[in-house]
Every structure is written in structure tokens, then in C-alpha cells.
Amino acid sequence: MTAARLHFADAGEAADLAAFLARLIHYDKAAAVRLQAAGETLGVFGRPPSFEVLAIRTARLAKPYEHGLDTLLDVTVSAGELLESVGESAESVETAGTAVVPDAVTGPPWAGVLPPRGGWRQAAGLPSADDVRALVRGAVVEFRRRVEELAPELRVRGELDRIGREIWSRSITGTGLPVRAAHAAQSLGFLRGDRLALLESGAWLRLRTPYGSVALRRAGVGALSVTPA
């Protein structure tokens, strides 16, 4: 049986996906991603370590996904193998703008619980994009300053983690969104331009930009709305 292949709408879609995968691998060499394709949209979900958020990138497909009798794709694969497949296709005239779907891997726990597909509504209170970026820069500066102020013998992993948790768990005023979510968006290349939106659905919050989203479940919210594996 031939391998499933994704046909991207254009080379730019494939290149943007490759950039996203490369950033995930920068934080985790063994990163896995969950792929979901229905119709002409591919959703790619990943979880960069330490940020404690789900990163979501979509890509447009040239035609509705179809592989034999399968019209839906839902599989967890190696991010590195998918990146390699996208890169190999870019080097070939015959397969440019396509990528072979790698073999499935045993998914990490986060891959079994994804944000809901629908039911999102606008949440109030999100500052401007410039203000969010400034807040992330300020948090990075504070972290570095506080680490530099530590005596050398205190610069151990436990103390650095404690400082990081204190800074990155702070909420962006009026939103309930932790600063680490905006930091993740910045680090993954999502926090560009002026169009930011904060959405909520049940226990989930989602920071959405034209370049991708980050989502997380809020602590202490009783009614969970999830998409099961």
C-alpha cells in the first residue's frame, strides 16, 4: 500500500509548516506532532517542553485529504520525520509541495486531549500586540536579571525553575492567560503583526494569530470540553 501523502496548496504552506516543525524540534529533538486533516485543512498540534501549552499550526491543502478509502487523517507522528519529508519534497520537482505522512508513533499523553474544534468565543481584556510583546520582553529581562543576582552556588536548576515558574505563571492583566502562553507564541514565531485574539471554550483559552495559536486548559475550571483521541 502506498504511503499517505499530503498535497499542500502551495510551496509557501509547506515552508511555513517546516519552519514550525523546526522550532518544535529546537525545544525537543524527539518531538511528536498530532496531525488532523479533514477537507482541505491540515491541523498540526505540538507541545514544546517547559511552555506547558499546545501549539497549533494549520496548513491549506490543495485538495481534500484522501488516501484510499480514508477521507480523514488523524495520526501522531515524529516531528523530525515529518520535517524531513517536507524538506525532501521541496528538493524534487515531481513532489514539490507534498509530503509523505510518516509512520505513526506512540503518542505522548497530551496528544490524547486536544482543544475543542468549535464553540470558541471572543474573550475580553487582551492588550494590543505591541503591549503583549513588550510584556514578554520585560519578563525575559526580569528572569535574566534575577538569575544574575543569584550567588553562583545558588544558580541550580531548582532555583532557576522556581524563578521561571513565578514569572511565567503570572496572568496577563484581565485575561487569565499566563505570560508563558505569550512567550510560547513569541518563541514559535506566532506573535507577529497586529492581529491577536483571545478565545475561550469551556476550560480552554486560546491565543490566536494569523501565524498559529497556543492553547491551554485553565486550572480550576470544572467543565472540561475536549476532543478525545
Phi, psi (rounded to 5 degrees) for 148: -65, -30
- Residue 116 in this model has a pLDDT that exceeds 70: yes
Four-CA torsion 202, 184, 46, 86, nearest 10 degrees: 140
Domain around 109: 5-114
* CA proximity to 184, closest of 173, 169, 166, 194: 169
Domain total of the chain:
2
Co-location of 147 and 199 in the same domain: yes
Which of these three, 114, 133, 164, is where a domain ends? 114
Residue 96: Cβ within 10 Å count: 13
Q: Indicate if 106 and 133 belong to the same structural domain.
A: no
Of the three residues 114, 130, 163, the one that is the final residue of a domain is: 114
Identify the pLDDT of residue 3. 82
User: Does residue 128 share a domain with residue 95?
Assistant: no
- Report residue 224's pLDDT band, with 50, 70 and 90 as the boundaries: very low
pLDDT tens digit string along 30-79?
999 999 998 899 999 999 988 999 999 999 999 999 888 788 999 999 99
pLDDT in tens, 10-34: 888 999 999 999 999 999 999 999 9
Q: What are phi and psi of 81, to 5 degrees?
A: -70, -40
- Cα–Cα nearest to 177, from 148, 151, 145, 204: 204
Residue 84's pLDDT is what? 94
Per-residue pLDDT, 95: 55
* Torsion over CA: 98, 74, 198, 25 (sign): negative
pTM: 0.89
